[in-house]
Amino acid sequence: MAAVTFLEAIRQGLWEEMEADARVFCIGEDIGVYGGAFKVTDGFIDRFGPERVIDTPIAENAIVGAALGAALTGLRPVAEFQFIDFITCAQNQIVNMLAKTHYRWGAPANVVLRGPSGGGVHGGPFHSQNPEVSFVHTPGLKVLYPATCYDAKGLIKSAIRDNNPVLFFEHKFLYRRIKEELPAEDYTVEIGKARVARAGRDLSIITYAAMVHLAMDAANMLARDGIEVEILDLRTLLPLDREAIAATVKKTNKVLVLHEDTKTGGLAGEIAAIINEEAFDDLDAPITRIAAQDSPVPFSPPLEEYFLPKLKDVVEKCRWLHRY
């Protein structure tokens, strides 16, 4: 079995779910003939036709509203944002309608919202953001952010089969940079379960998405000096796997929380609170965090590099934690 890219893994998962269930359809901007801004849906319209691969005007609020309306009739829509930055244009539909419909009157709201997010590609302030925490704060939603090809395919399939509204973030830096051989048979990845991406004994890095790979690079460097770092890949941000977070802290007693989103109000603060509630007595050092600078994402490549979490910062902070 040939290795596939992160993008192809998502594409395969979406394709297979559309083959398996005629209720699944895609909706979004330029997803039909053009195949999507990043080509995730390339060729879908030829196989499934324009009634299941629906091009829309640039109107994110309308896309989500149409998807929710379709779900109410028994369909299972998957809506694409060309760039996840523009998900905020649909904030009202997502937060006030999609997240609350089932709570209000028990109606189905099985909608998947997916799209490319994150920086590192010099896309500037409107095409490189990580807005996931806005939705982690919204009860009624599930929020997924995979880091590997295996998880990307398994989680998109789980998202489509889930009866709740699911937001699926895809880090565009990973789209064509990582590859992996995937199982030939059908599989899913359970929503709400973190994974230990690397086992270690000296300290833990809790992270997700592209930062998992940065953490792995740091851990490999530190291992040459005998410092063994455990990496916990959250995979699902809502609901968070509190048990896995507590388990890694109880094992290593020192923790660094790493994410690409900006620091103030970011997910690291919530994770620190969970550790305080679940494993405070097991800590041998202060909880530390590394995140992006509290700034819009710079367009300039050198400034974006300064803005994003860096390998040397992770390595230095881990060394500090190890000495503490």
Catalytic residue numbers, as ranges: 127
Query: Dihedral through CA 129, CA 230, CA 220, CA 133, nearest 10?
Result: 0
User: Residue 298 carries which DSSP code?
Assistant: P
Closest residue by Cα to residue 125 from 264, 253, 307, 279: 307
CA–CA distance, 108 with 213 (Å, rounded to integer) = 36
CA–CA distance, 230 with 320 (Å, rounded to integer) = 16
Complete DSSP assignment for 184-231: SS-----TT--EEEE--SSEEEEE-TTHHHHHHHHHHHHHTTT--EEE
Which helix (DSSP H) or strand (DSSP E) does residue 24 occupy? strand 24-28
Closest residue by Cα to residue 249 from 236, 268, 230: 230
Give the C-alpha distances (Å, rounded to integers) separating 43 from 10, 17, 33, 46, 322: 14, 15, 8, 5, 50
Closest residue by Cα to residue 59 from 37, 81, 41: 81
Per-residue b/e over 123-162, b at no fewer than 16 CB within 10 Å? bbeebbbbbbbbbbebebbbbbbbbbbbbbbbbbbbbbbb
Which helix (DSSP H) or strand (DSSP E) does residue 258 occupy? strand 255-262
Question: What type of residue is 258?
Answer: L
218: left (phi over 0), alpha (psi -120 to 50) or beta: alpha
CA–CA distance, 238 with 284 (Å, rounded to integer) = 28
CA–CA distance, 100 with 85 (Å, rounded to integer) = 22
